């Protein structure tokens, strides 16, 4: 006997075996038990969710001589005849290849003949949205008032293409995408029945890749079993067959992009290409990884929603703490657009490389969306260079006047010692508040731009309170080189050590407004000979 594909071999024979469509199965069983079977049904939903399977079960159930709780018994002559495809009572039509008016007229002519055996004559029209306009019009009257022994079952994946006149004449049933847990459970039953050893992680990944389609999951499982025939089907083998990438690679790629490490990002991509992974699937899986990262970053109670192992979930939470949700959302949008562009692209690798370079070099992008990354880079460089600048301004770091060594006998420039200042008193703080415009004149950009909007007041004791309209700015000048630079300017203004505190307003402006004037920092170093 020739081999039968798994999705055909394990097609559900009764309603109880249909997975993930309980809302439909329960309704149809109750209709059969109460003898309230309709004359026209419309089954719509994505591929592989059980539309044709349920239609065939319903066709057997309405003709079964001894139905069991609304399901066909499978033992009577009519059930066996229909299951073998020999019954004249069940007619399956593919509307994709029989979509003309003539085909529909043949159906109308046949409807007038009652079944010689059984109770009902069932017409299953698959992909009914492929019918032409004339064919739909020819079907309308018969679909509305067929003979009592006729049942129409229309199945489609694109219900929006059906005329409203067809929709209004049918009982509509929407088939949902099947959950990953349900698919995994069904796959477990299949491999147990086939006597195949499979890792649980492997089944889980196949179930997730199927994207809600039971038929797709069985086809993928069939493919993986054939590739590793006679061996245990492991998670790594499934990745190899499906051209997929492990989660750890996505974690490394995200870190490379976020830290602008273009060499690491392109090296990872080169490794993916060398391993023969499918690049479109790689991008789609990375979008899914970003989605998981976004959910974990948004809430700590996402274990049931994020479908990954406990080890990967722990690593995902650690990575989520280092990034904000706005950045993740922007990355999701960029890679989703890339996935659409790759569908018809001849050079998929080049498109991915261009995207990675732009994300790792945000200064190449002139739009506001990359502003946050550009600011983050500036702040990293500013933190490194600010310490050197502060040392030069305070005289703690010596600066040579030229690239040549000093002449023999010339005095060597000495590092100045930092002067100890007295603590500023409330009167000194009031002078700073009153003379703030004059102090601003001694500041360089971008500090001058930021501090123009600041609100100053005398706080508790001898503290100067500086209120900014942005939390990021307040944090920026509360620590590090920026804080030391501001401290030096305030101390120089009154000749005393000023204790200050930075706060931010709750109603802050958008990030882009606060930083729109950020420019590259240019320092003029004046040295004394």
- What mean pLDDT do residues 362-391 have? 59
Residue 55's pLDDT band (boundaries 50, 70, 90)?
Answer: very high
Residue 245 has pLDDT above 80, yes or no: no
Query: Cα 205–209–213 angle (5° rounding)?
Result: 120
Beta-carbon contacts of 268 under 8 Å, excluding residues fewer than 6 positions away, are 249, 252, 253, 256
Instruction: Lowest mean pLDDT of 239-248, 347-356, 365-374, name the range.
Output: 365-374
Domains in the chain and their CATH numbers?
A: 6-175 (3.40.50.300), 180-242 (1.10.8.60), 247-360 (1.20.272.10), 419-510 (3.30.300.180)
Of 218, 163, 248, the closest CA to residue 49 belongs to 218
Residue 309: the pLDDT is: 61
Most confidently predicted of 113-122, 131-140, 273-282, 393-402? 131-140
Q: If we measure between CA atoms, which residue out of 449, 453, 450 comes closest to residue 472?
A: 450
Going by C-alpha positions, the residue among 304, 283, 292, 191 that lies closest to residue 238 is: 191
Q: What is the model's pLDDT at position 395?
A: 54
pLDDT at 440: 81
Q: What is the pLDDT of residue 394?
A: 60
Query: CA-CA distance, 70 to 67, in Å (whole number)?
Result: 6
Bridge partners (DSSP) listed for residue 477: none
Distance between CA 200 and CA 187 in Å, rounded?
10
Reported as a pLDDT band with limits 50, 70 and 90, residue 214 is very high
Average pLDDT over residues 22-46: 92
pLDDT tens sequence across 304-350: 667 666 667 778 888 888 888 888 898 999 999 999 998 888 889 99
Length of the chain: 529
DSSP helix/strand/coil, 462 = coil
Q: Is the pLDDT of residue 138 over 60?
A: yes
User: Among 219-233, 339-353, 366-380, which is the least confidently predicted range?
Assistant: 366-380
Average pLDDT along the chain: 81
pLDDT, residue 167, reads 92
The pLDDT score that the predictor gives to residue 501 is 83
| Predicted pLDDT at 248 | 81
Report pLDDT for 383: 57
Give residue-wise pLDDT tens across range 434-492: 888 888 877 877 787 778 778 888 777 678 888 887 777 777 778 888 888 888 888 88
Q: When comparing pLDDT for 271 and 511, which is higher?
A: 271
Rounded to an integer, the average pLDDT of 485-514 is 70
Q: What percent of the chain has pLDDT over 90?
A: 28
- At 405, is the pLDDT very low, low, confident or very high (cuts 50, 70, 90)? very low
Q: Tell me the mean pLDDT in the region 25-51.
A: 92
Mark out the alpha helices in 228-370 (DSSP H runs): 235-242, 247-258, 262-274, 279-298, 310-320, 325-341, 348-360
Confidence of residue 370 (pLDDT cuts 50, 70, 90): low
More confident position, 157 or 390? 157
CA 98, CA 89: separation in Å to the nearest integer?
19
Element (H, E) at 219: helix 214-227
Q: Is the pLDDT of residue 515 over 60?
A: no
Residue with tokens 């539309």: 51
Say if pTM beats, i.e. exceeds, 0.85.
no
Pairing of strands 455-458, 463-468: antiparallel
CA distance 240 to 238: 5
Reply yes or no on whether the pLDDT at 368 is more than 80: no
- How many helices (H) does the chain have, and how many strands (E)? 24, 8
Residue 520 has pLDDT above 50, yes or no: no
Convert 341-382 into a string of H (helix), E (strand) and C (coil). Answer: HHHHCCCHHHHHHHHHHHHHCHHHCCCHHHHHHHHHHHHHHH
Cα–Cα distance for residue pair 214/49, rounded to 1 Å: 6
């Amino acid at each position: 006997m020739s081999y039968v594909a798994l999705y055909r071999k394990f097609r559900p024979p009764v309603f109880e075996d249909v997975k993930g469509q309980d809302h439909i199965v329960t309704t149809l069983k109750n209709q059969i038990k109460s003898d309230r079977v309709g004359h026209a049904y419309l089954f719509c939903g994505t591929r592989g969710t059980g539309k044709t399977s349920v239609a065939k079960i319903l066709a057997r159930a309405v003709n079964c001589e001894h139905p069991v709780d609304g399901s066909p018994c499978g033992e009577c002559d009519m059930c066996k005849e229909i299951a073998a495809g020999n019954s004249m009572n069940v007619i399956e039509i593919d509307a994709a290849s029989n979509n003309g008016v003539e085909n529909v007229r043949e159906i109308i002519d046949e409807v007038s003949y009652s079944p010689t055996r059984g109770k009902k004559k069932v017409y299953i029209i698959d992909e009914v949205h492929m019918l032409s306009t004339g064919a739909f019009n020819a079907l309308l009257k018969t679909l509305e008032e067929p003979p009592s022994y006729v049942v129409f079952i229309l199945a489609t994946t694109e219900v929006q293409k059906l005329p409203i006149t067809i929709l209004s004449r049918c009982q509509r049933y929407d088939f949902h995408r099947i959950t990953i847990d349900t698919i995994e459970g069904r796959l477990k039953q299949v491999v147990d029945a086939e006597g195949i050893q499979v890792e649980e992680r492997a089944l889980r990944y196949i179930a997730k890749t199927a994207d809600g389609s039971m038929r797709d999951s069985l086809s993928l499982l069939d493919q993986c079993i054939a590739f590793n025939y006679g061996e245990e089907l492991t998670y790594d083998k499934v990745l190899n067959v499906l051209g997929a990438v492990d989660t750890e690679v996505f974690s490394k790629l995200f870190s490379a992009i976020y830290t602008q490490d273009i060499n690491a990002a392109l090296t990872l991509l080169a490794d993916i290409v060398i391993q023969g992974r499918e690049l479109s699937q790689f991008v789609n899986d990375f979008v899914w990884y970003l989605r998981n990262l976004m959910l974990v970053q948004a809430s700590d109670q996402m274990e049931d929603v994020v479908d990954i192992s406990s080890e990967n979930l722990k690593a995902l939470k650690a990575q989520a703490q280092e990034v904000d949700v706005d950045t993740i959302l922007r990355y999701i949008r960029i890679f989703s657009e890339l996935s659409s562009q790759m569908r018809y692209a001849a050079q998929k690798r080049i498109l991915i490389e261009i995207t990675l370079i732009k994300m790792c070099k945000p200064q190449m992008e002139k739009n506001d969306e990359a502003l946050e990354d550009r600011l983050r880079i500036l702040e990293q460089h500013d933190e490194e260079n600010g310490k050197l600048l502060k040392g030069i301004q305070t005289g703690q770091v010596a600066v040579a006047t030229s690239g040549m060594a000093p002449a023999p006998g010339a005095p060597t420039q000495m590092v100045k010692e930092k002067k100890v200042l007295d603590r500023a008193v409330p009167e000194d703080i009031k002078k700073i508040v009153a003379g703030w415009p004059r102090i601003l004149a001694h500041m360089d950009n971008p500090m001058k731009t930021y501090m123009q909007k600041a609100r100053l007041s005398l706080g508790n004791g001898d503290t100067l309170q500086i209120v900014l309209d942005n939390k990021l700015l307040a944090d920026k000048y509360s620590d590090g080189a920026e804080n030391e630079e501001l401290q030096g300017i305030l101390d120089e203004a009154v000749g005393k050590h000023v204790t200050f505190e930075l706060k931010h307003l709750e109603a802050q402006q958008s990030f882009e407004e606060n930083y729109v004037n950020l420019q590259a920092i240019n320092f003029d170093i004046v040295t004394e000979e």
